[in-house]
Amino acid sequence: MFKSVAGGALIISFFTLIAKLLGFAREIIIANYFGTSWRYDAVLIALTPAIAITTIFSTGISNAFIPVYHKLKAEGNNKNKVYVQSFLFFISIINLFFGLTLLLFPKFYIKIFAPGFSDEVINYATKSLIVLSIFPLISGAYNILQTLLRAERKFFEYSFSQLIFNIVFIPLLILFAPLINEQAYVVSWVIGNIFILLISIFFTKEYLKKSHFDFHIIKNTFKLAIPIILATTTSEINKIIDKAFVSYLPSGRISSLQYANTLLSFLNIFIVAFLTSSYTELSEYVTSNNLEAAKNRMRKTIKSSLNIAIPIVAWIVIMSNGFISFVFQRGNFNEESVRLVSIALIGYSGLLLILPINSMIRYFLISSGKVFLITFMSILSIFTNTLFDWLFIKPWGHGGITLSTTFVAFITAIIQILYLKRKGISFLPIKNITFNLVIVIVSALLVIYLKTTLNLNLWFILGNLIFVIIFLILARDEIKFLISKIGKEIKKKIKK
């Protein structure tokens, strides 16, 4: 059940939707309690080094895990199980070491990540980081186990585990927020991630039975992973640079970026589902040297993703302010908070267009072992991101920082597309993209015109209705497929 890309996308989409709805509820509660306060800024900065370390040494390496795992599984003799245990042990040692550095030198990290903070904010962030020092070990372990679930096409188990965090986080936040204010976020975060680890262990226990460790068997992974780690490192450096710039701006800007990221992640649910489930199939095609099938997989995934993304981006640019006000404006989240988050979300919105393209290129290059381009572009992005941050922050503030992120992603995509085209690899559905853009631009201009002729409430309702109709038209094939797939699975259950 759900072994195909389509089925995987369906089940991932379903559980991700539930998880995102819970995440939405979480952010509404956070907004009500904390708004865009300086203490919430401090907590988010404390999270940054903890998450960055995990991303670099776990998430980055796990991208190299799947193709190597498939090769070892094909060889038999339980090499894949030995590989999983050896890999998990080694990653845990690395993350334990870095967690200790967070515990012992928290203020050092905070001053690097937010040089513009005052002493009061630095001290608050330092206390938060001490609690978060265990996070790299926890998150590093469950990242590997969840990658294993994806490699085995256990999309149900993978997706179900994503629900646990918010189910635990939300009641803990409600319980602790009146008592310890923004520190409640930190405590709830750690406990929520512990539960993700426990459920991941439960779903993968058959691969974790006592076995010998073989570091030789993971050597090839690290050879492949070194450039990927470098690429991931540069990506995290860009995030650090962004927050370092924003730390010099008035309070509330860092937390507004967090809210914008949360909204963006909610809006790209189905895009991420298609990308996540496609990686396994793409890896299998590349490993078996079936290049045509790999290109076709890339083309289909990008087409489906952009059918969804293009109308959403136009909607964000035109309608986001009213949407953010409707969702968040209560308690400590005021009109200024709405304005800050809206600016950040508009700057980030272009990432939805480029995410499918960059992701599929990266998956293809990783699966084929050709990661030089990823490394080169990642290093280049540090310089381009810093340049655009510096150029854009003065005229547009934190909105310039988010716009810089989008610019860098577009530059990366263009260079990688041209590189692969020279190698004879073309995968973009140009006609489909052009058609969608024309339809959406015309619709967006109509909505903008209506704003000048209608009262605000009527315009907000009619504008959203127009974008819903455009979305249903452009993404009709994806919607029909999901409905059909759900219907088939329900019929199977009834017959049983």
Position 1 pLDDT exceeds 50: no
**Better pLDDT: 279 or 48:** 48
* Confidence at 312, pLDDT banded by 50, 70, 90: very high
Task: Quote the percentage of the chain above a pLDDT of 90.
Answer: 44
The model's pLDDT over 339-350, given as tens digits with 9 standing for 90+, comes to 999 999 999 999
pLDDT of amino acid 107? 94
| 164: exposed, middle or buried (Cβ count in 10 Å: 0-12, 13-18, 19+) | buried
The model's pLDDT over 87-105, given as tens digits with 9 standing for 90+, comes to 888 888 888 999 999 999 9
Mean pLDDT of the chain: 85
Distances (CA, A) of 286 to 71, 187, 226, 296, 472: 12, 43, 20, 12, 33
Taking the CA of residue 209 as centre, how many other CA atoms within 13 Å lie in the half-sphere pointing to its CB?
5
pLDDT of amino acid 12? 62
CA torsion angle for 408, 411, 416, 422 (degrees, to 10)?
-170
Quote the pTM value.
Answer: 0.77
| 335: exposed, middle or buried (Cβ count in 10 Å: 0-12, 13-18, 19+) | exposed
Tokens read off for 97? 């070491």
Task: Quote the percentage of the chain above a pLDDT of 70.
Answer: 88
Distance CA 159, CA 150 (A): 9
The model's pLDDT over 258-282, given as tens digits with 9 standing for 90+, comes to 899 888 888 887 787 777 777 777 8
